[in-house]
Chains A and B, each alone.
Chain A
Amino acid sequence: ITDEKKPNKMSNKSPTKQPPAKSSGKNVTCNVFLLDGENVEFSIDKNDNGRALFDKVCTHLDLIERDYFGLTYTDDRGPSHLKYWLHLDKKIAKQKKRGPWVFEFALKFYPPDPSQLRESLTRWLVVLQVRRDLLSGRIPCTFTTYAILGSYNVQADIGEYDPAVHGNAYDYIKDMAFAPNQTPELLEKIAELHKLHKGQTPDEAEKGFLDNAKKLAMYGVDLHKAKDSENNAVMVGVCCSGLLIFRDKLRLNRFVWPKILKLSYKRNHFYIKIRPGEMERNDTTIMFKLDNHRLAKRLWKTCVEHHAFFRLREAEKPSNNVTFPRFGSKFRYSGRTLYQTRQTAALLDRPPPFFERSQPARNTMPDTGTRSRSMDDMGRPKKRGSYEDGMYDPDRASKEYPGKYGDGKDKKDVKGVPTAKAQAGRDGEGRGAGDENTLQRRPYDSDTADRKDRLPSQGDATLEREIGRGHGDTMGLPEGQEKPETEKERKKREKEEERKKKKEAEEKKKREEEEKKKKKKKGKGDLETSEDRGDKIGYDPATETAFGVSPGSAPLEGNGYDKDGYDRKGYDKDGYDRDGKDRHGKPRKDKKGGLFSRIKKGGKDSDAEESPRGKNNILSSAPGLPYGVGLGVGKGDMTGVVGEEKSVDNKLRFIPIPAPPKPSYINRPICIQATSSQSGYLYLLNNFLTTMPFFHPAATSTVGRPKVPPPVLPKGSHGLDDSFNAPTVATKTVKYNPNFSEVTLSSRSVPLVRTETRTVSYTQGNSTYEVDDDGLMSEQSRSLRLQSFESIPSKANRSTFSGDEDDDYDFDAALTDAIRCVTEFNPDMSVERIECVQQLEDVKNGK
């Protein structure tokens, strides 16, 4: 069924209505355009995920080193030149919503050194891709370079120059494409150079080709159009070593992976948080605006994948836990990394597969099948003034085909307010139900605010959910940037307001913009009100999230948030979001408020399990809190280490449980976990140490994503730890002798609070400041010292600590309390070790 699904939003949900079962029995014919222009049909099950198709394609090609490649599709809502990578672990139907299932096989990760590729078949495919890039202007060159590269192509495709067959002129290559606007002079030069390659086999010629091509500045750079904070048009290039920022063709900046602390996107904004340089103290965040949310996400995903592929040894394991809903995008790179694929290739042991180097078909590809820019170049070479014109201008294509993919709706959207709004509304309603399916479990089902929480989990379903917005965005209007805002507003507004909007829309754009801003503010205010909330929840969670989360929105709008609102916000985001937010200058006060309110909230829902992330957030956002102390029961969880990344993954994972009424230590420098009746959760505030997750919505660049423990485990919490990676940061742990505590065992059944803490211990002399070096830490975290001290009861019944001596807090009492607390909860459990963690905020910023 290469069907055109109805544009209607409701029908887009159909995938969710279909039985989630593996096979639907219905087969769909996919057209896949290979790099040599061949169009191959594959029949796959409608419910298959991307990998099924990709595997078929690779099998067809007999390709083994397949990790460099991927399949792209165009989103019919967007301009045709915008390609999206097919996520291999998701159903195709969820990604390619409308239009025929047409895909392109393409090189996704350009090997930095193609000579290290194992098989000549793989190299040939890379060559084909680079040739396309040359033709499309993605890799611009001068005459001489085109000639050099072209001559290798001729040698590979046609073979040895033979005067008898080829004659003296360049006629024999006149049908080949070498450059966007090739001239007879170029062909002549190529023919001349071709003669010099005598004796090279096709494979050698291709190696020669790639040896030159890999040195080109734009080789492997995936450009995304964006605007910087001052609204200057820039291009953000993603490549194997990091991100490049261009203005036109001039490189303004380069951020290599080690320099990047975090990448995130919110709404149509894309953020890069940069590790402070030698001289600077604060890390900086750089913001770019993309035309719409989907493009921001696309850029972010590209970054996530490139980072994982080129920088990591192995991809992060997606956490498949059913227990906790995850907030934020779940998107991760799931394939092999460059490192792994090279290793695998080294083991490869098969005779070189035979393949026929077919010349790339030049004009045979239908529009949809070609890479957009190459389409331009090939199809209408004459129209191009010069290759320079188009190469950095992805929008060009869209401008040229304004109506092409625009069904009536699109057009309306462009002009118009009404459609989008209405649709959005509908969309939202419909979605409410749909969402339930997607979400595995939600902690606070009944609570509106909580639903908000879910919103951020766009990872899975973003595409579907975004449909409403998508329309507007796609057309890439000049003022595309404002669009998302507009739509959001629209969504928020009630119908009366909608009308108003219509009028506005007709006003001049500038005015519109201003108004929008104002309204946006208002809109945000509305967010807090419960009426609006209902509406909002339903639709387009992604947007919504972005909204709640949007950097600085809160601070800008003032502090008018009621607690609820705050709460919601806090929950909305997973920790990463929060971090991001903080960065962007949310006043600390707010954070504090947020934190507390959240805690409070947590207290209410006794059963609620919070995702570890969420907690992290809280904690990590806590810098405003004066002191936080946590007592962890069970093995102190160690920090996940990330090999090269050197990031410390200081996430806390624990299950919050309402604690029995106890004296609250919340204000004390040391707070024994969960003793406060008010804060039902055990918030280990040592989470101050939480490092910045690398990628925003839910990502860390770190390898070791912690497993989330099952909801409530009476025992054996220690066991979990084993699976974690070795810690970067040393934690001193000491066995605690349970016999020591003269705890009264209560028969009350109190839920167990289980925590896993990651602690960093500093020796007093600060000689070990490893965390700092590792750099993935947030600035705030540096300003806090976390001290862990151990209690060794056997020694004179006193705890020894390495804390600040001038602190007269009674640690013994605290410890005893803690132990009692724990043992009370579960008499069966023996306390093997208790770790007290004290956190001090150092006003002078550490050290």
Chain B
Amino acid sequence: MAAFHYNYAVICRVPQSISNRSVGSDNYPRGVDVDKARQEYETLREVLKSLDLNIIEMVEDDNYPDCCFVDDTTVVIGNTALIARPGHISRQGEVGEIRKVLVSDLLMNVVEIKNPKALLDGGDVLFTGKEIFVGVGKRTNEAGAQAVAETFPEYAVSMVNFEKCEALHLKDVFNMAGRSVMAVAPGPDVQTVLRQMQDVASYPYQVMQMDTRMATDMLFVNGHLIHHVRNEMGDKSYGILDEKILWPRHHIQMTELAKIGGTINSLVILITRTRNPKRIISNIQDEDLGYFTMWKRGPDSVPILN
């Protein structure tokens, strides 16, 4: 079964406390406009609903100002979910609710991190459909990455050093825009990480270089790409999407949540729940097998066929 085909999405409402107590709100002394943020969240929810996803919406908990960023709390591939251990102390309690949902509502095979020293933010785990990259150095440590590798032994789990990168999470700067298209944020720090990924990757991806970080924030779901609106992405990046992405797109505005580091992909846990799978979840194609692949990149304006 191909990756990026999901039938469930777990999301969590925006709590009131996000305005001034969230991890990212320190930079915004005036706080975040909660109403606007909620609006943005609801837009995303509607978009997801339109994509054949069953939405599981969790009620916010004001004790956890960042609880709407559910993606950090778990890593889900197929029927297996690894409960993360967020690197930021204030967030570690968030996983409790998520765990309940995964176990009792979705009947997932839930795995806990055994190593007490491990730290893992879901946002540091990039599943490309063929393999997994874990950004280590910021919110995730090597033991955390190791836990990912143990939990998903079917996939090559590669560690990339993310320490010197400005971004907080790996998925702030790398995202899959299609089956083998990777959107990459600008900046030398990101390029360094990209090079690491290219070195260690088993499979090739087409690199789609964006020129703002916000433009990199996107979510590829069931053949559709959800991304920011044009004025948030910048004209050039938006143009790249116009040029290259031939599959349906949805753009949403996310200004308030982005202020505190929120991204589209951090707001949702996507789940493929199959009762009787016949194949493992993977986008590995026959032509990917056994070759010494190099990544393609370049300014070519050729549209990417997904």
B123 within 8 A of A: no
What is the minimal beta-carbon distance from A142 to any residue of chain B, in angstroms? 5
B74 within 8 A of A: no
Residue in A142, A212, A256, A277 whose CB lies within 8 Å of B195: A277
Inter-subunit contact A145/B280 (CB<8 Å): yes
A234 within 8 A of B: no
Digit string of A2-21 for contact with B (CB within 8 Å is 1, else 0)?
Answer: 00000000000000000000
Bound-state CA distance A311–B290 (Å) is 10
A253 within 8 A of B: yes
Q: Which residues of A contact B17 (CB under 8 A)?
A: none
Closest to A391 in B: B153
What is the minimal beta-carbon distance from A798 to any residue of chain B, in angstroms? 49
Inter-subunit contact B292/A258 (CB<8 Å): yes
Digit string of A246-278 for contact with B (CB within 8 Å is 1, else 0)?
Answer: 011111111011110000000000000000010
Interface residues on A, range: 35 or more
Q: Given contacts A142-B80, A193-B278, A212-B279, is CB(A112)–CB(B290) below 8 Å?
A: yes
Q: Given contacts A249-B150, A277-B195, is CB(A148)–CB(B201) below 8 Å?
A: no
What is the minimal beta-carbon distance from B191 to any residue of chain A, in angstroms? 10
Q: Given contacts A142-B152, A254-B202, is CB(A112)–CB(B289) below 8 Å?
A: yes
Inter-subunit contact B153/A212 (CB<8 Å): no
Bound-state CA distance A247–B279 (Å) is 28
A140 within 8 A of B: yes
B159 within 8 A of A: yes
Q: Which residues of A contact B277 (CB under 8 A)?
A: 144, 147-148, 193
Inter-subunit contact A144/B78 (CB<8 Å): yes
Most buried by B among A140, A142, A256: A142
What is the minimal beta-carbon distance from B121 to any residue of chain A, in angstroms? 16
A348 within 8 A of B: no
B149 within 8 A of A: yes
Closest to A311 in B: B292
Q: Which residues of B contact A216 (CB under 8 A)?
A: 153-154, 280
Bound-state CA distance A251–B284 (Å) is 18
Closest to A114 in B: B289
Residue in B109, B131, B291 whose CB lies within 8 Å of A144: B109
Q: Which residues of A contact B152 (CB under 8 A)?
A: 142
Bound-state CA distance A208–B278 (Å) is 9
Closest to A252 in B: B159
Inter-subunit contact A310/B290 (CB<8 Å): yes
Interface residues on B, range: 35 or more
| B window 89-141: CB within 8 A of A | 109, 131, 134
Digit string of A120-149 for contact with B (CB within 8 Å is 1, else 0)?
Answer: 000000000000000000001111110110
Bound-state CA distance A196–B275 (Å) is 12
B220 within 8 A of A: no
Closest to B275 in A: A192
Q: Given contacts A145-B154, A217-B154, is CB(A249)–CB(B146) below 8 Å?
A: yes
Closest to A112 in B: B290
Q: Which residues of A contact B276 (CB under 8 A)?
A: 192-193, 196
Inter-subunit contact B289/A214 (CB<8 Å): yes
Inter-subunit contact B159/A251 (CB<8 Å): yes
Bound-state CA distance A304–B117 (Å) is 40
Q: Which residues of B contact A240 (CB under 8 A)?
A: 290
Inter-subunit contact A252/B200 (CB<8 Å): yes
Q: Which residues of A contact B232 (CB under 8 A)?
A: none
Bound-state CA distance A257–B284 (Å) is 20
Bound-state CA distance A143–B286 (Å) is 24
B156 within 8 A of A: yes
A340 within 8 A of B: no
Bound-state CA distance A259–B289 (Å) is 18
Bound-state CA distance A790–B286 (Å) is 51
B43 within 8 A of A: no
Inter-subunit contact A140/B153 (CB<8 Å): yes
Q: Which residues of A contact B292 (CB under 8 A)?
A: 241-242, 256-259, 311
B145 within 8 A of A: yes
Inter-subunit contact B155/A211 (CB<8 Å): no
A55 within 8 A of B: no
What is the minimal beta-carbon distance from A460 to any residue of chain B, in angstroms? 32
Inter-subunit contact A141/B153 (CB<8 Å): yes
Bound-state CA distance A324–B239 (Å) is 66
Most buried by A among B153, B159, B202, B278: B153
Closest 4 CB pairs of A and B: A112-B290, A140-B153, A256-B292, A249-B149
